[in-house]
Amino acid sequence: MRNIVIGQSGGPTAAINASLAGAYHRAKELGFDVVYGMHHGVEGLLREDLIELEPYLDDPEDIEVLKRTPASALGTCRYRLKDYREDDSDYRKVIEVMEKYDIEVFLYIGGNDSMDTVKELSDYAAEHGLPQRFMGVPKTIDNDLPVTDHCPGYGSAAKYIATSLKEVMRDNNAGDVHKPTIIVAEIMGRNAGWLTAAAALVKSGDCSGVDAIFLPEQVFDMDEFRRVVRELGEKGKPAIIAVSEGVRVADGRYVCELAADVAVDAFGHKQMSGTAAYLCGLISSEFGYKTRYIEFSTLQRAASHLASRTDIEEAFDCGVAAVNLAVEGHTGEMIVMVRDTDSPYACHMEGYDIHSVANLEKGLPVEWITADHQMSEAYEHYARPLIQGEVLPIFVDGVPQHLLIGE
């Protein structure tokens, strides 16, 4: 068997390395000679910056540590390939590097934008009658890839959000009764509210849950927000409101843009932050209530210490499935998870035409959002299984051990 190259791209997750571990493990099992990693995604491959993975992963213990290592162990990128119909230099270079290193399979672990890279490369190869194969493995805390039931990375981020908010609630509820605090927590997810909806999972046997949830699937009505704040303030009790970083007012501007200009990345996405800070400013200036904002930021996608076992195992299996299908001759596909049964929860993996997933975003169904800013039973039913189980870290010097590749 010849060689295979694996890359990671886009925003990292706590499970993206489990997919790398699964793909590596299966590739060796099936007899690939050399398994390469792209150092910082396709940008690294274009620079011929490839890493032989075997020295890092030759011991089964290394695979276990990799599964528990957050972020993209190979390094990530947010690089947009040029349109090959206008300029095919990137594509010629990718094929040249693959030929030089005898690589027959290119496997990319990423979200919507990364699947665009897989789509363009597989289309280019098909149009030119080239033998190289290109496969996508889903990952994103945003959970917004279409077709697949859910995305690796989501369950772990959701477990972290629910756990941390539950802990924050304990702290807030124990606070000064004379000056209750309204906390606004900002959660990632760009234009999809899946991860913010995980705030609903705080509600459990010993916890009443957060007070309100605002998702980007609905226009953010500032007056309705004021109404919610007033009502909470009048109760004179501590409160927690969860908001998505991607909430927008009626004219289409993100709430964070009301406070400051935002930068834009290579795919034209605005880099969001500051929504909770802005809303807390409004609460204290207009109502005089004590407030505190929490921006989970990078913490929510790097929290491997609290990863969901379901998520890590599925991420591993997605890597395995991609290698299996590539070896069978598939190309231009992304692995999708198909939910077989709810109780007991079970999923299986399939390949799906990349054209139906690349660049597309799947929002949370609006009918899952209730009029009182909570999530319906349907969301609970969907998401609760995804946060089940734990993968405990392996500790070194009192902190979790991580596997470093090429650093």
| Binding range to ligand F6P, per CB under 6 A, among 54-62, 183-191, 232-240, 280-288 | 183-191
Note whether 385 binds ligand F6P by CB under 6 A. no
Count of positions on this chain that bind ligand F6P (CB under 6 A): 13
DSSP letter for each residue of 272-328: ---HHHHHHHHHHHHH--EEEEEE-TTHHHH-GGG-BHHHHHHHHHHHHHHHHHHHT
| Binding range to ligand F6P, per CB under 6 A, among 65-73, 137-145, 381-389, 395-403 | 137-145
C-alpha to C-alpha distance for 186 and 244, rounded to whole angstroms: 6
Note whether 111 binds ligand F6P by CB under 6 A. yes
Note whether 11 binds ligand F6P by CB under 6 A. yes
Cα–Cα distances (Å) from 229 to 120, 237, 393, in that order, read 47, 11, 39
Q: Are strands 133-138 and 333-342 parallel, antiparallel or unpaired?
A: parallel
Q: Which of residues 139-178 bind ligand F6P (CB under 6 A)?
A: 140-142
SS3 213: strand
Structure tokens at 257: 């843009």
Q: Is 311 a catalytic residue?
A: no
C-alpha to C-alpha distance for 227 and 231, rounded to whole angstroms: 6
Residue 153 C-beta: closest distance to ligand F6P, Å: 9
Note whether 229 binds ligand F6P by CB under 6 A. no
Instruction: Name which of 123 and 142 has its Cβ closer to ligand F6P.
Output: 142
Instruction: Name which of 154 and 316 has its Cβ closer to ligand F6P.
Output: 154
C-alpha to C-alpha distance for 230 and 136, rounded to whole angstroms: 47
| Binding range to ligand F6P, per CB under 6 A, among 19-27, 135-143, 304-312, 350-358 | 135-143
In the Cβ-directed half-sphere of 102, how many Cα atoms lie within 13 Å?
A: 7
Structure tokens at 6: 């694996």
C-alpha to C-alpha distance for 180 and 228, rounded to whole angstroms: 15
Query: Which x/- pattern, by CB under 6 A, does the window 187-226 give for ligand F6P?
Result: -xxx------------------------------------
Residue of minimal CB distance from ligand F6P? 11
Query: Which x/- pattern, by CB under 6 A, does the window 283-312 give for ligand F6P?
Result: ------------------x-----------
Peptide bond into 12 cis (omega under 30): no
Note whether 22 binds ligand F6P by CB under 6 A. no
Structure tokens at 386: 């995804």
Cα–Cα distances (Å) from 23 to 59, 132, 170, 352, in that order, read 15, 17, 41, 17
- 142, 144, 211, 317: the catalytic one is 142
Residue 158 C-beta: closest distance to ligand F6P, Å: 13
Which parts of this chain interact with ligand F6P (CB under 6 A)? 10-11, 111, 140-142, 188-190, 245, 271-272, 301
